[in-house]
Amino acid sequence: MDTGGNSLTSGPDGVKRKVSYFYDPEVGNYYYGQGHPMKPHRIRMTHALLAHYGLLQNMQVYKPLPARERDLCRFHADDYVNFLRSITPETQQDQLRQLKRFNVGEDCPVFDGLFSFCQTYAGGSVGGAVKLNHNICDIAINWAGGLHHAKKCEASGFCYVNDIVLAILELLKQHQ
């Protein structure tokens, strides 16, 4: 069955796969800081390549809905999520004990829009899982996601919110 646009031929069977692609143009504006290896602007560059090669016409493109605090708290501790929501570059000097407690610092710095960034990338992954659960797509892509090092109560390895766990929890609603 040919589903027309918004699909890609995949695999030896030649069947068209429906692809949901999550992208927020603002994601490339987040900046971990001078010299930090994590560079969200690369997500914008990837999107530009997809557009240049004409691949976006083969996908349904969605702007992710920001993950809500209660979504984040499905895995992360409430006090950790509250900390991420409240910390800013201007207030971090007043919260040194909390920074240490939640492992926010050198690898996982505080930057402008930190919580919004977390909501965006987690929202894309959870949104992809919802689309998969409702058979709206066969493949879900969120280049901003995959930040799997975050723990229940702390940041780790450039990751603040574990969007992979959140997406798995969503998938478990429909799949073993």
Residues with a catalytic annotation lie at 149
Q: How far apart are CA 82 and CA 86, in angstroms?
A: 6
At residue 18, the 3 state secondary structure works out as strand
Tokens of 146: 């995959």
Q: How far apart are CA 25 and CA 39, in angstroms?
A: 14
87: Cα separation from own chain's centroid: 19
Report CA-CA distances (Å) from 148 to 95, 105, 145, 164, 167.
25, 18, 8, 6, 11
Tokens of 12: 């030896």
Q: How far apart are CA 40 and CA 166, in angstroms?
A: 20
